Amino acid sequence: MRWIAACLGLLSALCIAQEKNETRELIGQLGGRTALLNLYTSRQPDGAARVTGDYLVLPTQLQRFLEGERSMQLGVTVLREGQTPILYGRPGTGTLQGTWTGGVFKGTRYGPEGQARERFEFSESFPPMETYSASVRCEVSEGRYASTLALALDNGKLKSVDWRSTVSPGDHPCAVTGLEQRPDNGGMRGGLRFTAGRCSVTLRNLGDYVRVSAEDCASMCGSQGYLEPVLVDRRGNCRLLRPRPR
């Protein structure tokens, strides 16, 4: 009986931990620029949530890191931003202040001296891709990394995908092929997901770009191989998604 009680207690603790910690990805506008927002919340004993994360301005790939708090009752959220993941003791570059409720985070970005700079609005709902069609074949490289992507879709249905990369020195390979589209799209909303075993490739509509990213694909890669996210524009041109703090 004690063993059962201990197991139930552990299960309860795990459930509580899962409820208290969440990861959210949002898309929207920061001023007149499209930006991607990643936020991680951790529930505090007083009911508020500690928030950390970052945003990425897509046209320039400018990245800023965030930390702050969100009230659970009204969703009032204040996030200080800076150029490094650790903001404590370092000069900030601004503050995002607003409300985050119903899957929408909107408000005003203020400069480091408190001056209002620009309005922002982000949503957890990404544009649908059920009618997305594309035929992409491109090569991208930067530094030690190089990859080729061949992707064909017709009205949101996967026709073929072949994504390969090498990392030098040693030309450590990675090759993701044979992916299939689940009938329910893997439970994903506002995007497309294709899988083979644990490996999955995800497409998200980011407005002027479609982001192609891979998760849990280590079994298809060499010991030091990997796949970096790629941004595909409307003409089928590709570039690596590499945030650049400035």
> What is the pLDDT, as a whole number, of residue 186?
61
Q: How far apart are CA 40 and CA 213, in angstroms?
A: 19
Output the pLDDT for position 190. 85
Per-residue model confidence as pLDDT tens digits over 10-69 = 443 333 334 468 899 999 999 999 999 999 999 988 888 999 999 999 989 999 999 999
Q: Is the pLDDT of residue 160 over 90?
A: yes
Q: Which fold has domain 20-123?
A: Lipocalin (2.40.128)
- Rounded to an integer, what distance in angstroms lies between the CA atom of residue 202 and that of residue 133? 15
- pLDDT for 214-236, tens place per residue? 999 999 998 889 999 999 998 88
Residue 30: what pLDDT? 96
Question: Which ranges in the chain belong to alpha helices (H)?
Answer: 2-20
Give the model's confidence band at 203: pLDDT under 50 very low, under 70 low, under 90 confident, else very high: very high
* pLDDT given for residue 189 in this prediction: 72
User: 193, 180 in Cβ contact below 8 A?
Assistant: no
Q: Three-class SS of residue 4?
A: helix
Answer yes or no: is pLDDT of 88 > 90.
Answer: no
130-148 tens-digit pLDDT: 999 999 999 999 999 999 9
Q: What is the overall mean pLDDT for the chain?
A: 88
Neighbour-count burial of 94, counting CB atoms closer than 10 A to its CB (0-12 exposed, 13-18 middle, 19+ buried): buried
pLDDT of residue 99 exceeding 90:
yes
pLDDT in tens, 109-131: 999 999 999 999 999 999 999 99
The pLDDT value recorded for residue 8 is 37
Dist. CA 110–CA 167, nearest whole Å: 41
For residue 224, what are its two tokens?
A: 């030091």
Nearest partner of 19 among 52, 49, 46, 54, judged by Cα: 49
Sign (positive or negative) of CA dihedral 238, 240, 243, 246: negative
The mean pLDDT value for 173-200 works out to 86
Beta bridge partners of 193: 202
Write down the pLDDT at residue 245: 66
Domain locations in the chain?
20-123, 134-240
Task: Please write the tens of the pLDDT for every residue from 147-156.
Answer: 999 999 999 9
Is the per-residue pLDDT at 174 higher than 60?
Answer: yes
